[in-house]
């Protein structure tokens, strides 16, 4: 499902770019690219502006919905939640401070560690 949303998002974004570039601007924009200004007469004199404007609105709405869906799904994945839990656990440990030192034995003195045994020597 996640892959389908990404595919729709990419296709809509590319189509949105294409539709925006087709809209005539002050200098007739990219609409003149298709035939010297004749591209706007395909839908009628003023009809192309309203048709392309409506297509742009629909594409923009789909683009925003897929953007919000992808953002929501990526922020609620298991890895993000696990990272948040790890950060919260680290902050809780830092608030508590270092662990208490070990208490000495009842005799009041601690035993020194036994001496290390020498390893085998080569002759």
pTM of the full predicted structure? 0.50
Q: Please write the tens of the pLDDT for every residue from 26-85.
A: 555 455 555 555 545 555 555 556 888 899 999 999 999 999 999 998 887 777 677 778
Percent of the chain with pLDDT over 90: 28
Q: How far apart are CA 28 and CA 31, in angstroms?
A: 6
Question: Of 73, 59, 62, which is closest to residue 22 (Cα–Cα)?
Answer: 59
pLDDT of residue 36: 53
Question: Of 5, 4, 117, which is closest to residue 72 (Cα–Cα)?
Answer: 5
């Amino acid at each position: 499902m996640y892959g389908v949303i990404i595919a729709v998002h990419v296709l809509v974004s590319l189509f949105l770019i294409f539709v925006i570039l087709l809209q005539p601007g002050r200098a007739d924009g990219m609409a003149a690219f298709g035939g010297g200004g004749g591209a706007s007469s395909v839908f009628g004199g003023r009809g192309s502006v309203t048709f392309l404007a409506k297509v742009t609105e629909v594409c923009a709405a789909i683009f925003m919905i897929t953007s919000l869906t992808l953002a929501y799904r990526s922020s609620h994945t298991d890895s993000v939640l696990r990272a948040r839990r790890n950060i919260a656990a680290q902050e809780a440990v830092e608030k508590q401070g270092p662990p208490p030192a070990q208490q000495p034995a009842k005799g009041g003195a601690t035993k020194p560690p036994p001496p290390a045994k020498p390893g085998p020597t080569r002759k």
